[in-house]
Chains A and B, each alone.
Chain A
């Protein structure tokens, strides 16, 4: 894997981390003791998963179901290069529509030290997971097919909004509406996924959708039917921005520190911003 000039500069900084990191990577991952119910991860055959042999690699996972999976792979490759590790990519190919997060335990035990593509939601993770710092920030967006609507304030009361269920933005919208008189509200339809929320704009079920910006980006790249959808100003609600980073099993704190340093350096020198621009991805890399 070639090392970029920016990563080459980073290499000196992180070279001292590489040897102890390589030692730590030999340790097999383990769950927290005495976990609580759904926090208890389980991987089929987990008792037979032994220690890894090749400590010169940064094993990372990306998931084809994530809208940014290709770009996340590029970012992970760059992080690995910065750490003087050989990137070892594992692409999750599952067709399951949704998964419980405990499923990641087995995936990570078997295939990767870090898994790309997770939102930095406070209190949003079980104790057996730790997160990196964000490598980009993006937002939830209000989207419509109606050219007359340029902000949420333009949407007349009674016109429905289809929101991807349970996101921070959905919760914020529901809380805002609960403070409004009944005749000023927009009916809010919880949708099981960003894709389902966006589809309501095409079939007329809703007038506005509230979705994760990368999902809109992916849908517009894949399907011309979504090309005319446009993002509107969220006011009177504030923009909801979230960082996106990688997750580790919780015993990988040293690796996390190293990856965090790498991300910080790659953000600072513009490497990650360049990757975002390459994909025209709706996100920013902030120091």
Chain B
């Protein structure tokens, strides 16, 4: 059901389509009237005041050039408005803003358009999830032409009219009853919707996939499976187990897009279940034609969005046994390497190791460690191949000790890159785990988990500061600065043209740092919940705003067991906060 709210004039129309009821209220002086179609050119070069996709730009930087809020005045930042979102479930929201209108997705799948300057509701659309599917939010969404494109928890893609909230099309991509779901939203690249599937667990063998869709109809154009198949070196990389026994490879984070090559770069998660003995990947097969690295898990895939052709891949962590995904944001940055500028794709896995590839060829270039870890003993400087510490690989009947634990030294909270400083800003945590293999089939249906339990413990000999914001100069991979605190940093980082980096933490604070020194320049008062989401900044009516959603959303909030004195509200409220300078 779509409902449209206005300020002055009221009229109502109703539309019945596929069970939908729409009420529309027209408005005067409503920013929705000035909303323009989002063109390919806009997506290639977004207006400074807009936030049109998950990481704002195709290169995945998560950087805004806005500078009205800067190092000198950020201390004066005040709450401009707030908006209560649907309770229940979890949300890891990234609001989008275009032409002064903000679009948000509540965990209940209530999609709303707000006046980005005032916080007033313009329209809303309720997508109805099946009773069997719990309400949870998506990390991102997309805008293209006059459509807001939303992924849902029951594995549908839908398109809404950006001006009215009316449903344009609804396409089921997979059967949620088999576990399929979307947890992140799409990217529109060269006019094609590119979407990754997640939750491909025991309920559905064969793994996940990326799909390409027609923006006007949602029709599926192509599908790239994240678990290799067939009698190829990649297809034979699963230790001889048949396709019906291969699980995992979730594509749960939105990718980036290189328009020069017409390539989308996106990550793939790990094997499921996590324990490689249980997954059938060890002991290695004696068959000389079979390997066990389990492609394409923990890889970057380079996919042509027009044809769905997989151009190349690079696997960072073969035969992963610790749930240490290399699935997160891919940043497209041109950086010096061995005396020449190389077009690179940079990502950081859960182990906290920043790694770079040549994005034209897939050649591995360099790595940089950040958080303390005991998983990787060494990295081959030519190929990036890792020597894994055998003592951390979980073994049936033993408890092993690994750092970081499964949420990762960095989790889904995205890192961000600022061209001002040429630095990568990482929200990181330091902690470890005692890991034990467990049977997890208590009920016939209620099975689950990765067949390992992680008892999370502090880093031995740590200073007690679990959370950090790290700045790493990518031109030479040197450490610029590090901010440390006891509560985990739980939001993505947001660097801006004003020279500040925003980040939020488990203890309900939103903070701003000097992008060159790490000095904390501002902190909000305590908000109503942990800040586990993706902050954005935008402009409306000539004024810069900074927005973040407060929620306890499972990522680094999982470390709440290490910080029991950081209390959060029991009913997990979700609230959108928007800050600005006083007029």
Q: In this assembly, does B11 line the interface, its C-beta being within 8 Å of a C-beta of chain A?
A: no
The interface residues of chain A lying within 8 Å CB-to-CB of B34 are none
Cα distance, A44 to B11, chains bound together (Å): 34
CB-based A-B contact count at 8 angstroms:
166
Q: In this assembly, does B6 line the interface, its C-beta being within 8 Å of a C-beta of chain A?
A: no
Query: Taking each of A103, A162, A190, which has the highest tally of chain B beta carbons within 10 Å of its own beta carbon?
Result: A190
Q: Which of B132, B277, B397 contacts A94 (CB 8 A)?
A: B132
The interface residues of chain A lying within 8 Å CB-to-CB of B571 are 47
Closest to A164 in B: B441
CB-based contact B244/A191 at 8 Å: yes
Closest to A116 in B: B443
Q: Given the interface contacts A45-B88, A66-B445, does A124 sit within 8 Å of B439 by beta carbon?
A: yes
Q: Given the interface contacts A124-B438, A175-B397, does A99 sit within 8 Å of B446 by beta carbon?
A: yes
Q: Which of A121, A190, A194 contacts B245 (CB 8 A)?
A: A190
CB-based contact A171/B441 at 8 Å: no
Cα distance, A192 to B204, chains bound together (Å): 7
Q: Which of B283, B443, B447, B564 contacts A166 (CB 8 A)?
A: B447
Q: Given the interface contacts A66-B443, A187-B240, does A192 sit within 8 Å of B438 by beta carbon?
A: no
The interface residues of chain B lying within 8 Å CB-to-CB of A178 are 277, 283, 396
Q: In this assembly, does A97 line the interface, its C-beta being within 8 Å of a C-beta of chain B?
A: yes
The interface residues of chain A lying within 8 Å CB-to-CB of B221 are none
Q: Which of A44, A66, A96, A124 contacts B444 (CB 8 A)?
A: A66
CB-based contact B279/A190 at 8 Å: yes
Closest to A212 in B: B444
Q: In this assembly, does B35 line the interface, its C-beta being within 8 Å of a C-beta of chain A?
A: no
Q: Is the interface of B mostly helix, strand, loop or mixed?
A: loop
CB-based contact A171/B442 at 8 Å: no
Q: In this assembly, does A38 line the interface, its C-beta being within 8 Å of a C-beta of chain B?
A: yes
CB-based contact A190/B177 at 8 Å: no
The interface residues of chain A lying within 8 Å CB-to-CB of B283 are 177-178, 182, 185
Q: In this assembly, does B48 line the interface, its C-beta being within 8 Å of a C-beta of chain A?
A: no
Q: In this assembly, does B37 line the interface, its C-beta being within 8 Å of a C-beta of chain A?
A: no
Q: In this assembly, does A57 line the interface, its C-beta being within 8 Å of a C-beta of chain B?
A: no
CB of A174, distance to nearest CB on chain B (Å): 5
The interface residues of chain B lying within 8 Å CB-to-CB of A103 are 134, 446
Q: Mark B222-246, 1 if CB is under 8 A from A, else 0.
A: 0000000000000000001110110
Q: In this assembly, does B342 line the interface, its C-beta being within 8 Å of a C-beta of chain A?
A: no
CB-based contact A96/B439 at 8 Å: no
Q: In this assembly, does B79 line the interface, its C-beta being within 8 Å of a C-beta of chain A?
A: no
Cα distance, A125 to B447, chains bound together (Å): 11
Q: Given the interface contacts A36-B558, A196-B205, does A104 sit within 8 Å of B446 by beta carbon?
A: yes
CB of B414, distance to nearest CB on chain A (Å): 20
CB-based contact B204/A166 at 8 Å: no
Q: Mark B559-574, 1 if CB is under 8 A from A, else 0.
A: 0110010000001000
CB-based contact B280/A119 at 8 Å: no
CB-based contact B447/A65 at 8 Å: no
The interface residues of chain B lying within 8 Å CB-to-CB of A170 are 278, 439
Q: How many residues of B contact A (CB 8 A)?
A: 53
CB of A93, distance to nearest CB on chain B (Å): 10
Q: Given the interface contacts A166-B440, A166-B451, A190-B279, does A65 sit within 8 Å of B245 by beta carbon?
A: no
Cα distance, A196 to B203, chains bound together (Å): 10
Cα distance, A155 to B203, chains bound together (Å): 28
CB of A97, distance to nearest CB on chain B (Å): 4
CB-based contact B278/A98 at 8 Å: no
Q: In this assembly, does B101 line the interface, its C-beta being within 8 Å of a C-beta of chain A?
A: no
Q: In this assembly, does B327 line the interface, its C-beta being within 8 Å of a C-beta of chain A?
A: no
CB-based contact A192/B205 at 8 Å: yes
Cα distance, A77 to B340, chains bound together (Å): 77
Q: Given the interface contacts A34-B560, A185-B283, A190-B241, does A101 sit within 8 Å of B442 by beta carbon?
A: yes
A-facing residues in B473-515 (Cβ within 8 Å):
none
CB-based contact A65/B444 at 8 Å: yes
Q: Mark A99-138, 1 if CB is under 8 A from B, else 0.
A: 1110110000000000001110101110000000000000
The interface residues of chain A lying within 8 Å CB-to-CB of B353 are none
Q: In this assembly, does A281 line the interface, its C-beta being within 8 Å of a C-beta of chain B?
A: no
Q: In this assembly, does B421 line the interface, its C-beta being within 8 Å of a C-beta of chain A?
A: no
B-facing residues in A60-87 (Cβ within 8 Å):
63, 65-67
Q: Which of B203, B273, B443, B564 contacts A117 (CB 8 A)?
A: B443
Q: Mark A156-187, 1 if CB is under 8 A from B, else 0.
A: 00000010111110110011011000110101
CB-based contact A174/B445 at 8 Å: no
CB-based contact A191/B245 at 8 Å: yes
Q: In this assembly, does B70 line the interface, its C-beta being within 8 Å of a C-beta of chain A?
A: no
Q: In this assembly, does A284 line the interface, its C-beta being within 8 Å of a C-beta of chain B?
A: no
CB-based contact B397/A36 at 8 Å: no
Q: In this assembly, does B295 line the interface, its C-beta being within 8 Å of a C-beta of chain A?
A: no
CB of A146, distance to nearest CB on chain B (Å): 19
CB-based contact B439/A167 at 8 Å: yes
The interface residues of chain A lying within 8 Å CB-to-CB of B202 are 98, 165-166, 192-193
Q: In this assembly, does A188 line the interface, its C-beta being within 8 Å of a C-beta of chain B?
A: yes
CB-based contact B177/A121 at 8 Å: no
Q: In this assembly, does A26 line the interface, its C-beta being within 8 Å of a C-beta of chain B?
A: no
The interface residues of chain A lying within 8 Å CB-to-CB of B441 are 119, 121, 124, 164, 166-168
A-B contact pairs, 15 of them (CB 8 A): A36-B558, A37-B554, A37-B558, A46-B88, A47-B87, A63-B444, A96-B132, A96-B177, A96-B179, A123-B453, A125-B442, A166-B278, A167-B439, A175-B396, A200-B244
Closest 5 CB pairs of A and B: A192-B202, A97-B203, A98-B203, A189-B245, A37-B558
Q: A36-B560, A38-B449 are in contact. List 16 more A-B contacts (CB 8 A).
A: A34-B561, A96-B132, A124-B438, A124-B439, A124-B441, A124-B442, A165-B247, A166-B440, A170-B278, A170-B439, A171-B278, A171-B437, A178-B396, A183-B286, A189-B244, A192-B201
